[in-house]
Amino acid sequence: MKVLISDKMSEEGIQFLEEQGCFTVVNRPGLPPDELLQEVSDAAALIVRSKTKVIPAVIEAAPKLKVIGRAGAGVDNIDLETATRRGVVVMNTPGGNSVSAGEHAFALLMALARRIPFAHASMKSGLWNKSAFMGKELHGKTLGVLGIGKIGSVVAQRGVGFRMKVLAYDPFVSESYAEDLGVELCSMEDLLRQSDFISLHLPVNEKTQHLINKDTIALMKDGAFLINAARGALIDESDLIAALRDGKLTGAALDVFENEPNVNEELRGLDNVVLTPHIAGSTQEAQTKVGYGIAVQISDYLQNNLIVNAVNFPSISSQEQSNLDPYIKLGEKLGSFLGQISEIRISEIGLRYYGDLAQMNYKPLSNYILKAILTPILSEEINQVNSRKLAMDRGISVIETTSTRERSYSNLISVQLRSETETEWVEGAILHHGNLRLVSVDGIPAETQLGDNIVFIRNADQPGVIGHLGTTLGECNINIGSFILGRSPSHAHAVGVINTDTPVPDDVLKQIEQIPAVQFARVISLGT
């Protein structure tokens, strides 16, 4: 399998991939766009940092591509929608450079507070202008941190260490986590109004793009300082420039910009800004961590199907993978069984997990079941990565629930397909020695094995069906492995599930369909 590395990466990561013995590692940082399209055409994996732009054309040019790895946290240079639609996992290494990025953000804050870059430039020019560089102490000042994930938490901890009052806005962290950091959670508006220094550590999305603009700047303290070592698109640069010029803000320190590497010339010309060229994560330690980390993740996925730090698929630890593997096999068989017998226009897929499964990380399992359901129905290439999106694109809702209600079988999986008027339904469980069992169909008890070759029927509940079916298959030299006929007082029809040693040909299926009591018949293949 070919692994293409198109940005500079640590030698430790490259060496790890080469030592695996099963990868052809092509290390070509700085590829021009046309050469990138050529090199990626036969790659199973693409590893990038922030320079390579993984646009739709790159993904579409790579039919063998299974995974894109970002050696770092941000993935805004990767088209996630196209990758997900194509079933390509996108992974990052969110914690690898958090200390480096956090330290750099705090270094920018200190540089602003004490005007170090400006004093340095003055000294380099031969001046001794001591009175021109009056600074501010950090002790006792208020630091506002927008986003206290891994990097924001590093900045917050440094602020606490400097005896600053630290305010934080992050709707996704708990009060207890903030208390452990020694920071106070508050609304974004209160943070902006109270903070002397404001440091940004948020992702870019529809809600946060240009979060810092003339309206939010108006809420800030007069004379506040702004630091951004997260993403350039968080700030409307024209509004920031205006605030720096009119004195609303005393200064700003930026490591990221709206249009990298083409930095706004007006920003460059201001004498109250500190600018660095997107180097917050650029330390030897960080690059070793993220390079080696993404190499391990790529290897684990390509060799063991283990997904860690994926941004478009539920991540799963090796222990969780081991625990889920038997249920993934069961879920795939149930989903495939139901997908092959379904005749309704699906508007909703219902997945319910019972027993210990309800406490597990079942999201990856759901994706495998969705893949199995949709494979017989859709013409597109589908896998566990894009199955949920393909369902959504077709207006199919996916409802996942858990239940602690005791059932006759432990760790039960229930799968339902629903239309506006109809429901099709199967349930399954794992019995002793890992035996995958079908438990019910249409709510009718029908416990049997889930073999490779199955004939499924719905039939009128009347005498002679088993004998007639057995005779038909026997005359056609089809050996029956097991035969279960399920009945229920609440249903007008019965269901039959026949496991056969060999596949049932179409002409034999037609004979089965001619049996008077048979209302529906389908040959199902569950072989791998």
Task: Return the active site residues.
Answer: 231, 260, 278
**84 vs 383: CA distance, rounded Å:** 10
Which residues, 6 or more positions from 111, have their beta carbon under 8 angstroms from its beta carbon? 117, 253, 274
Q: Give 3-state DSSP helix, strand, coil % of the chain, rounded to 5.
A: 40, 25, 40
Burial class (CB within 10 angstroms; exposed 0-12, middle 13-18, buried 19+) of 300: middle
Q: What is the separation of C-alpha 519 from the centre of its chain, rounded to a whole number of angstroms?
A: 43
**125 vs 364: CA distance, rounded Å:** 60
Under a CB-based contact definition with an 8 Å cutoff, are residues 254 and 277 in contact?
no
**Structure-token pair, residue 68:** 């894109």
Under a CB-based contact definition with an 8 Å cutoff, are residues 287 and 10 in contact?
yes
Q: What is the separation of C-alpha 203 from the centre of its chain, rounded to a whole number of angstroms?
A: 14
**199 vs 108: CA distance, rounded Å:** 10
**Radius of gyration (C-alpha) of the chain in whole angstroms:** 30
Under a CB-based contact definition with an 8 Å cutoff, are residues 98 and 326 in contact?
no
Length of the chain: 528
Q: Tell me the β-bridge partners of 68.
A: 46, 90
**137 vs 287: CA distance, rounded Å:** 32
**Structure-token pair, residue 83:** 């990758």
Q: What is the separation of C-alpha 251 from the centre of its chain, rounded to a whole number of angstroms?
A: 37
**326 vs 482: CA distance, rounded Å:** 22
> Strands of 444-449's sheet, edge to edge?
397-403, 348-354, 413-418, 423-431, 435-441, 444-449
Q: How far is CA 250 from CA 31, 198, 217, 225, 253, in A?
A: 41, 12, 12, 6, 11
**37 vs 62: CA distance, rounded Å:** 8
Handedness of CA 507, 513, 515, 516 (dihedral sign): negative
**Structure-token pair, residue 367:** 């994706």
- DSSP character string of 329-351: HHHHHHHHHHHHH--S--SEEEE
